[in-house]
Amino acid sequence: MLFVDIVGSTDLGERLDPEVLRDVMQRYYERMAAAAERLGGTVEKFIGDAILAVFGIPQVAEDDAVRAVEAAAAMQSSIAELNAELRQQWGVEIQTRAGVSTGEVVVGDEATVDRMVMGDVANVAARIQTAARPGEIVVAGSTARLVRVAVDLERIEPLTIKGKRDPVVAFRVLGVLPAEARTSTHSPFVGRTTELEALEAELAQAVLLRSCRLAAVLGDPGIGKSRLVSEFIARRSSSTTVLRTGCAAHGGGASMLPFAELVRGLAEIAPTDGRREARAKLEAVIERVGADGSTAGALASLLDLGDAIRPLEDIYRGIRRVLESVADPSPAVLVIEDLHRADPATLDLIEYLLRAMRSAPVLIVGTGRPGLVEAGWSVARESGTTMTLSPLPVEEARTLIDGLVGDAGGTFEGVRIEKAAEGNPLFIEQLVLMLHEPLDLPADDASGTRAPGGSLVAPPSISALLDARVEGLSPDERIVVQRASVLGRTFELEDVEELLPESTRSMLTDIVRRLERSGILRLGDRASVTGEVSFAHGLIRDSAYRSLLKSQRAELHERCADHLERTRGERVSEHTVTIGSHLEAAVRNRLELGSNEEGVRSLSMR
């Protein structure tokens, strides 16, 4: 959550007529809301002079915390622009300070006027912003863990906050790093020889045929898609032009957003540029590529800088002309990240380029989740290739761990990292970062590095990524994985069916098939959706379970126990431990909610 407040609002009110103050505050609210919404946030409420914006509601994304800090920085830029106007008109300025905190909340019914976002996070954000000087941003330790690869931080003295037992660790934001400078570790590149060779072959084919080719690199979050692409780019000679763009989770439905961002990047149009300056920069690019009037109008329309909306066909031709110019005479590689988030027009444009470009060598390298193919979009064999990355084999995972922390692959710590990560390179990196480059947070802020028994649990950065993946499932898929998570890492489909609403049970087979294809679940028998099923990764199960309310967990655990007692017949004694663990979990969750009803006491005695 992002909490922004005006410093010295009383003085402002004394200097301005009430009507003028109303106009100033309205402009302030509008600029602040626009900055938050542009980065995927939602203004939850205005509290006097303060603004509370939330990120991750209604849809969780892995970069919510980073975008909250980016929004706070964008608000500062907007304030600077607004102050230039206010000084000229009335000789006054607005000064703000901001606080950002991260944590769990419970959201009320969105159909109501006030959906009631409940939790301690807003209180912490509001309190820590008071520690910021005018124009500064302060983040809680919970946020620092999630943004430290994207934001330059400076630790400040722990803050004593009303209602909190222990001081809250906090950091001052010194700046937001550009995208190309954000990296969690300088990790060695391990394995992926076959995939690198496939990318090299596609580029060679594009050069040979002087055409556009596509290499789709698919895989689960953290599996190494971006790392593979970075290694491929690093091996290019200086004669190869590399272009980068991506599909944002908070694109707001903008059509062809990655190509619009591509053109903005080529034109060096900054977010703070006015319409006239942006149009002048675009015209310079248009002149450089030798585009005609129709192409110029189409590209201006794409960037919302034109006087009229142009047909998609004109925009497609405009992008084609730009890429042909960039790839003449040397080849170009266009990297498009997160294609699974692309809108239909973006995918159609890629297909157009693959068909139409026949005079310049361009390789489009697109990364995405396995669900991209599940959604029905695929690469024709004659136009390119699709590769799906798998977890690293044990030996390669150990090599990566050794490369990050020395010869640790065979040590107790190395084995624990290897076991917890299950071959996922990003998970390995983040676990190493958590253990060897800590922010020195106290237990309450550290989100836990070890589970009972000494096993490792997911660091916040990985939890955020997996939470976003669960939230991104369709409603029927999400309810299946949530109910299944109550049963554990591995479960029987008939047991999940017992926990589902009647409306979902008839679709269970189809839903499980979809979840298996998208890499969420693994089937014991891929030929038939029956019997034993497991989560593809234990951390996915943990994320799905974490998304349930405690009241839901209590109810579902009790239903699991009842179901096992009722259906296991003479073999029920074999399941005594499992039944007991479900009952224990049901009692624990109800007690954490403060319940002391007779039902809880009787449940604990079963």
Both 154 and 260 in one domain: the answer is no
Both 529 and 569 in one domain: the answer is no
What pLDDT, on the 0 to 100 scale, is given for residue 596? 65
Question: For residue 532, what are the β-bridge partners?
Answer: 492
What pLDDT, on the 0 to 100 scale, is given for residue 354? 93
Domain count, the chain: 4
Q: Kindly tell me if the per-residue pLDDT of 448 is higher than 60.
A: no
The whole-angstrom separation of Cα 350 and Cα 53 is 35
**pTM assigned to the model:** 0.70
Q: Kindly tell me if the per-residue pLDDT of 19 is higher than 50.
A: yes
Looking up residue 379, the CATH number of its domain turns out to be 3.40.50
Both 206 and 299 in one domain: the answer is yes
Q: Which of 354, 388, 422 is the last residue of a domain?
A: 388
Structural domain includes residue 426: no
> Strands 170-176 and 137-140: what pairing?
antiparallel
What pLDDT, on the 0 to 100 scale, is given for residue 174? 92
The whole-angstrom separation of Cα 557 and Cα 587 is 9
Structural domain includes residue 276: yes
Give whole-number Cα distances, 28 to 33, 50, 270, 495, in Å.
Answer: 9, 10, 22, 54
Both 169 and 272 in one domain: the answer is no
- CA 486-488-492 angle, 5° bins: 95
- Average pLDDT of span 548-569: 88
Both 243 and 317 in one domain: the answer is yes
Q: What is the pLDDT of residues 202-248, one digit of tens each?
A: 999 999 999 999 999 998 888 889 889 989 998 888 889 999 998 87
Both 523 and 582 in one domain: the answer is no
Structural domain includes residue 245: yes
Higher pLDDT, 580 or 184: 580
Tokens 């431990």 sit on residue: 577
Both 579 and 512 in one domain: the answer is no
- Average pLDDT of span 55-73: 85
Both 204 and 162 in one domain: the answer is no
Mean pLDDT rounded to a whole number for the chain: 82
Both 70 and 21 in one domain: the answer is yes
Highest mean pLDDT among 69-73, 253-257, 325-329: 69-73
Strand order from edge to edge, sheet including 384-388: 241-246, 332-337, 362-368, 212-218, 384-388
Question: For residue 218, what are the β-bridge partners?
Answer: 368, 388
Q: Tell me if residue 15 falls in helix, strand or coil.
A: helix
Q: Which of 145, 179, 213 is the last residue of a domain?
A: 179
Tokens read off for 321: 């002309």
CB count, 10 Å around CB of 517?
A: 13
What pLDDT, on the 0 to 100 scale, is given for residue 444? 43
Q: Which of 523, 543, 563 is the last residue of a domain?
A: 543
Q: Kindly tell me if the per-residue pLDDT of 82 is higher than 80.
A: yes
Q: What is the pLDDT of residues 339-371, one digit of tens each?
A: 888 888 899 999 999 999 988 999 999 998 887
Q: Kindly tell me if the per-residue pLDDT of 2 is higher than 90.
A: yes
Give whole-number Cα distances, 425 to 234, 457, 520, 560, in Å.
Answer: 19, 15, 17, 35
Task: Judge contact between 66 and 74, C-beta under 8 A.
Answer: no
The whole-angstrom separation of Cα 14 and Cα 380 is 68
Structural domain includes residue 598: yes
Rounded to the nearest angstrom, the gap between the alpha carbon of residue 415 and the centroid of all alpha carbons in its chain is: 28
Both 154 and 205 in one domain: the answer is no
Q: What is the pLDDT of residues 381-425, one digit of tens each?
A: 678 899 999 999 988 888 888 887 766 555 667 777 877 788 888
Looking up residue 52, the CATH number of its domain turns out to be 3.30.70.1230
Q: What is the pLDDT of residues 468-479, one digit of tens each?
A: 788 878 889 999
The whole-angstrom separation of Cα 239 and Cα 226 is 22
Strand ranges in 31-134 using DSSP code E only, listed in sequence order: 42-47, 50-54, 95-100, 106-107, 117-118
Residue of 447, 526, 537 lying closest to 485 (CA atoms): 537
Range from 255-259, 358-362, 525-529 carrying the lowest mean pLDDT? 525-529
Domain that holds residue 97: 2-179
